């Protein structure tokens, strides 16, 4: 489209997005939507659909996780050539009992799921509306909002359908460099969750402890071995951290069964094999079952993102924009396996995710809307 995008369009559109984002964020955070709760997810999907342009085609797709509410897919069709996916999730980690509606505390907008990632959904909706006014700028403009990101243990079902798209923009929380300049996320570690089940033998811990096989002690040894694999400064930047252990039912009984959960992160999924291989089949007669119950691939799109997205986006913004990395998992990693030009961290800045004090910085809404629009425009013009 001749003459588009312009700095004036960017600034005017971002100001409009920021003006609406706070109210939309309040409405979204007002809905408690813990991962796996069908009613909360359906309410969130209904609200998101209401905030989309009237011409958007709305579908509900089967969720990647059984038993979850269907995901939301919104499609805008234009007369251009570019195909752009905007990505986010509607679920939170906060149970209904701990839910906190949005409230302003100074410059912080505090509430459950505010930064992870209902604030990002608000900016994605704003970007959809801004771009919808320019149908000659795209062939397809799609928003995918899933309902199982926080607790998904299986695969991600939707990646292949977007393999022909030009770019994917994920709206997880934004960030800045140490110098205060805007950044997006182009590199994430692979993530895995190891589950070890111990099968021992109960016995009276006072009268005959030697007759038992202690599942708790066996799991403690496994935890030690897993932690010994921790090597964040190594070639794979592997972190291996035991995080949950459960064993025993009574103070005077040798624990007959137990479970250990460990969190693994590395540049590649293949790095986890050494940790799994360190878990023996048995310890002191306690049989052990080990399983990698979650496998999230890593993502590294820094090279194409810098050249094809960030360079033109910086020119439009009139300020620097950097490619950064983050250790946490995101659905952007799944999409990056199918869409080579995938970038994350397009949401507002904030902090304390998964915490009762989770917040979005109000002052970040407009500059992060500018970043999102600039990157989207670069993807469509590219």
Domains belonging to the chain, first-starting first, are: 7-189+298-381 (3.40.630.10), 191-296 (3.30.70.360)
Q: Which residues on adjacent β-strands are paired with residue 354? A: none
Plot region of 177 (φ>0 → left; ψ -120 to 50 → alpha; else → beta) = beta
Is residue 244 within 8 A of residue 225, CB to CB? The reply is no
Query: Which residue ranges in the chain fall short of pLDDT 50?
Result: none
And the tokens for 13? Answer: 């559109």
* Closest by CA position to 27, among listed 106, 107, 113: 113
What the block records as the tokens of 1 is 């489209």
What one-character-per-residue DSSP string does 315-363 give?
Answer: HHHTS-EEEEEESS--HHHHHHTT-SSEEB--S--EE-TTSTT-EEEGG
Contact 59, 73 (CB under 8 A): yes
Q: Which pLDDT does position 153 carry in this prediction?
A: 87
Q: Residue 382: what pLDDT?
A: 75
Tokens at residue 235, please?
Answer: 């070639």
* 42 closest CA partner among 60, 23, 20: 60
CA angle (257 as vertex; 254, 259 as ends), nearest 5: 125
Q: How far is the first Cα of the chain from the last one, in angstroms, to the nearest whole number?
A: 12
How high is the pLDDT of residue 328? 82
- The pLDDT assigned to 4 comes to 85
pTM of the entire predicted model: 0.93
Instruction: Render pLDDT for 292-314 as a digit per residue (tens, 0 to 9).
Output: 999 999 999 999 999 999 999 99
Please tell me the predicted confidence (pLDDT) of residue 282: 98
Rounded Cα–Cα distance for residues 161 and 169 (Å): 15
Q: In angstroms, how far is CA 318 from the centroid of its own chain?
A: 29
CB atoms within 10 A of CB 191: 22
Rounded distance between C-alpha atoms, residue 342 and residue 84, angstroms? 10
Which candidate, 323, 367, 331, 330, places its Cα nearest to that of 349? 367
The dihedral through the CA atoms of 193, 288, 282, 249 has a sign that is: positive
- Residue 2: what pLDDT? 61
Contact 120, 358 (CB under 8 A): no
pLDDT 10s digits, 200-257: 999 999 999 999 999 999 999 999 999 999 999 999 999 999 999 999 999 999 999 9
Tokens of 34: 């813990």
**Virtual CA dihedral for 11, 12, 15, 16, nearest 10 degrees?**
-150
- Tell me what pLDDT residue 1 has: 57
The answer to whether the CB of 217 falls within 8 A of the CB of 292 is no
Rg (CA), the chain: 23
Length of the chain: 382
196: β partners: 260, 290
Bond preceding residue 44 cis, omega within 30 of 0: no
Burial class of residue 284, CB neighbours in 10 A (0-12, 13-18, 19+): exposed
């Amino acid at each position: 489209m001749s003459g588009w995008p312009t700095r004036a369009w960017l600034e005017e559109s971002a100001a409009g997005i920021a003006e609406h984002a706070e109210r939309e964020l309040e409405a979204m955070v007002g809905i408690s939507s813990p991962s796996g709760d069908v009613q909360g997810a359906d309410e969130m999907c209904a609200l998101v659909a209401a905030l989309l342009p009237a011409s958007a085609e709305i579908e509900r797709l089967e969720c990647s996780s059984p038993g979850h509410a269907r995901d939301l897919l919104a499609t805008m069709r234009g007369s251009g050539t570019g195909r752009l996916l905007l990505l986010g999730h509607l679920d939170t980690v906060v149970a209904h009992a701990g839910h906190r509606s949005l409230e302003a505390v100074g410059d912080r907008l505090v509430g459950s799921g505010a930064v992870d990632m209902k604030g990002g959904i608000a900016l994605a909706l704003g970007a959809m509306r801004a771009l919808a006014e320019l149908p000659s700028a795209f062939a397809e403009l799609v928003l995918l909002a899933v309902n199982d990101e926080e607790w998904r243990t299986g695969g991600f079902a939707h990646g292949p359908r977007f393999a022909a798209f030009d770019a994917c923009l994920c709206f997880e929380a934004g960030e800045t460099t140490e110098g205060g300049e805007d950044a997006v996320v182009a590199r994430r570690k692979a993530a895995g969750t190891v589950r070890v089940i111990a099968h021992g033998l109960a016995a009276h811990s006072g009268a005959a402890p030697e007759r038992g096989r202690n599942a708790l002690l066996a799991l403690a040894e496994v935890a030690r071995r897993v932690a010994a694999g921790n090597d964040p400064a190594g070639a794979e930047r592997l972190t291996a951290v035991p995080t949950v252990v459960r064993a025993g039912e009574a103070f005077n009984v040798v624990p007959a069964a137990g479970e250990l959960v460990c969190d693994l992160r590395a540049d590649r999924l293949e790095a986890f094999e050494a940790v799994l291989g360190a878990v023996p089949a048995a310890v002191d007669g306690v049989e052990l079952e080990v399983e990698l119950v979650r496998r999230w691939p890593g993502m590294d799109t820094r090279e194409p993102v810098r050249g094809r997205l960030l360079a033109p986006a910086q020119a439009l913004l009139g300020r620097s924009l950097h490619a950064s990395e983050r250790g946490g998992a995101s659905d952007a990693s799944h999409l990056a396996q199918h869409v080579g030009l995938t970038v994350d961290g397009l949401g507002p800045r904030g902090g304390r995710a998964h915490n009762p004090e989770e917040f979005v910085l109000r002052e970040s809404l407009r500059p992060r809307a500018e970043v999102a629009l600039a990157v989207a425009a670069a993807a469509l013009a590219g």
